[in-house]
Chain A
Amino acid sequence: MTRRQYIRLAIGVLCASRKALGKFTDEFAVIVHPSNRFDTLSRSKVSYLFLRKVSRWPWGAEVAPLDLAQSEPIRRLFVQQVLGISEEQLAAYWIDQRATRGVSPPLQGRDVEAAKLWVAARPGGIAYVPSSALDATVKILRIGS
Chain B
Amino acid sequence: MIFRLPLRSIRTKFLLVGFAAVLLSGSVSFFMAAEQRRQMEDQLRSGAVNLARQTEFVMAPLIAFDSRDEMKKALELLRTNPDFAWARVSDETGTPLVSVGGAPPTRCDGKSGKELSDNGVVLRVSTPIVDGGKTWGCLQLGISEERSRDSAKRLWTITIIGALMTILVTLACGAYLARTIAYPVTRLAEAVSRIEHGEWDTRIDVSSGDEVGLLARSFQSMMQELRRSKNYVDDILHSMNDSLVVVDKERKIRTANPATYSLLGYAEGQLVGEPIERITSGIGLLDAARLRGEESSSGFEIEYVAQDGLKIPVLASVARMDDHNDSVICMAQDMRERNRGERELLSAKEAAESANRAKSAFLANMSHEIRTPLNAIMGYSQLMLRDSNLGSGAKENLNIINRSGVNLLALINDILDMSKIEAGHVKLNPAPFDLLGLVKDLEIMFRLRAETKGLKLEVDISPDCKRSIESDQGKMRQVLVNLLGNAVKFTERGSITLRMSTVQREDHQMWLSTRVEDTGPGIAAEEQAGLFRPFVQSQSGRDVQGGTGLGLAISQQFIRLMGGEIRLASEVGAGSTFYFEVPVQPANGGIVSRQMATRRVAGLQPTQQARQVLVVDDDANNRGWLTTLLKIIGFSVREAKDGAEAIRLWQEWKPDLILMDVRMPVMDGMEATSRIRQQPGGTDTVIIALTASAMDEERRVVLQNGANDFVSKPCQEDELLQKMQTHLNVSYLYDDTEAHGSDAGATPRPELTRGAVQELPRELVVGLQLAIRNGEKARLNELIERVGERDAKISRALKKLADDYDYDALTHLLEGAPE
Contacts and interface: CB of A to CB of B under 8 A. Distances in A.
Contacts of B58: 53
A98 interface: no
A54 B65 CA distance: 7
Nearest to A52: B61
Contacts of A55: 67, 70
Interface string A7-21: 100010011001000
Contacts of B67: 54-58
B133 interface: yes
A14 B57 CA distance: 13
A55 B74 CA distance: 12
B66 interface: yes
Contacts of A48: 60-61, 64-65
Contact of B65 (A4, A7, A15, A57): A57
B65 A18 contact: no
Contacts of A57: 65, 67
B324 interface: no
Nearest to A42: B64
A18 B132 contact: yes
Nearest to B67: A56
Given A44-B132, A54-B67, A56-B67, A7 B61 contact: no
Contacts of A75: none
A45 B65 contact: yes
B66 A56 contact: no
Nearest to A55: B70
A54 B131 contact: no
Contacts, number: 42
B134 interface: yes
Contacts of B321: none
Contacts of B60: 48, 53
A56 B132 contact: no
A54 B64 contact: yes
Contacts of A15: 132-133
Contact of B62 (A7, A47, A54): A54
Nearest to A14: B132
B70 A54 contact: yes
B58 to A, nearest CB: 8
A47 B133 CA distance: 14
B61 A54 contact: yes
* B: contact size bracket: 10 to 19
A138 to B, nearest CB: 20
Interface string B62-90: 10111101100000000000000000000
Interface string A33-72: 0000000001011011000011111100000000000000
Contacts of A47: 132
A18 B62 CA distance: 21
Contact of A7 (B57, B64, B70, B134): B57
Q: Tell me whether chain A's interface is mostly helix, strand or loop, or mixed.
A: helix
Given A54-B70, A55-B70, A56-B70, A45 B64 contact: yes
Contacts of B131: 11, 44
A22 to B, nearest CB: 15
A11 B69 CA distance: 25
Contacts of A14: 132
Contacts of A18: 132-133
B57 A44 contact: no
Contacts of A53: 58, 60-61
B57 to A, nearest CB: 6
A42 B65 CA distance: 11
A7 B130 CA distance: 13
B127 to A, nearest CB: 15
B132 A58 contact: no
A86 B563 CA distance: 156
A95 B132 CA distance: 21
A14 B69 CA distance: 26
A24 to B, nearest CB: 15
A45 B61 CA distance: 7
A56 B74 CA distance: 14
Contacts of A42: 64
A25 B255 CA distance: 126
A44 B65 contact: no
A44 B135 CA distance: 12
A57 B64 CA distance: 10
A91 B61 CA distance: 20
A56 to B, nearest CB: 6
A46 to B, nearest CB: 10
Contacts of B62: 54
Contacts of B61: 45, 48, 53-54
B529 to A, nearest CB: 145
Q: By CB atoms of chain A within 10 A, which of B58, B60, B62, B64 has the most?
A: B64
Contacts of B57: 7
A7 B50 CA distance: 13
B121 to A, nearest CB: 28
A42 B66 CA distance: 14
Interface in A94-110: none
Contacts of A11: 131-132
A18 B132 CA distance: 9
Contacts of B133: 15, 18
Contacts of B66: 58
A12 B226 CA distance: 97
Among B54, B60, B65, B69, max chain A CB count under 10 A is at B65
Interface in B10-64: 54, 57-58, 60-62, 64
A75 B149 CA distance: 56
A20 B55 CA distance: 28
Contacts of B132: 11, 14-15, 18, 44, 47
B183 to A, nearest CB: 67
Nearest to A53: B61
B69 to A, nearest CB: 8
A42 B132 CA distance: 11
17 contacts: A7-B57, A11-B131, A18-B133, A44-B64, A44-B131, A44-B132, A44-B134, A45-B65, A48-B60, A48-B65, A53-B61, A54-B64, A56-B65, A56-B70, A57-B67, A58-B66, A58-B67
Give the 6 A-B residue pairs with the shortest CB-CB distance, closest first: A53-B61, A48-B61, A44-B132, A54-B61, A54-B65, A45-B64
Given A45-B61, A48-B61, A54-B61, 12 more contacts: A4-B54, A11-B132, A15-B132, A44-B131, A44-B134, A47-B132, A54-B67, A55-B67, A55-B70, A56-B67, A56-B69, A58-B66
Interface of B: 54, 57-58, 60-62, 64-67, 69-70, 131-134
